[in-house]
Amino acid sequence: MSRRQKGNPMVRFTALLVVSLLILQLKPAAAETLLVTVTGFRGIKGTLYVTVWRDEAHFLTDLRHAAARRVLPVSGPEMTVAVDGLSRGVYAVTAFQDENGNGELDRNFIGMPKEPAGVSNDARGVMGPPKFRDAAVALNGASRNMTLRLR
């Protein structure tokens, strides 16, 4: 075989290096687990909704952009919910107790929650909902535990 038929070893090495780097780029990021302990229920009734948000632009407004959502029947005065499969990054967490089973957080005529609700970091809004930056928590390795109090 001539050298031309075997191919240039430097070209083959470069191609192998490029393919290897591309494969490494496709490797999924390490999955993180967020453990959310929710307190402050008004009785042991209804459904608990826990939503993890990553997108500040859609925080509290569009569930299609939520990073994760867990829906569980309220089973005690305190519940711990595991949200796994999250990538490293910054998130905000919201939760509410759906007491009447209609699948949404009921509000009064000025928009204040009528059902128990809470946000990570106990963030509260001034004349409106809390801001993402005030509720932000970082996931940057292993598991993260947090407590979210419903009010």
Distance between CA atoms of residues 146 and 103, nearest Å: 24
What size, in residues, is the chain? 151
Pairing, β 32-39 against β 143-149: parallel
Spans of all domains in the chain: 32-149
CA–CA dist 138, 148 (Å, integer):
15
- CATH topology classification for 32-149: Immunoglobulin-like (2.60.40)
> Using CA atoms, how far apart are residues 135 and 123, in angstroms rounded to an integer?
5
Which tokens go with 44?
Answer: 């042991």
Per-residue pLDDT of the chain in tens (151 residues, 90 and over written 9): 555 555 676 766 565 655 555 555 554 556 889 999 999 999 999 999 999 999 999 999 999 999 999 999 999 999 999 999 999 999 999 999 999 999 999 999 999 999 999 999 999 998 889 999 999 999 987 678 999 999 9
pLDDT of residue 138: 93
Which residue's structure tokens are 């490293």? 88
Amino acid letter, residue 131: K
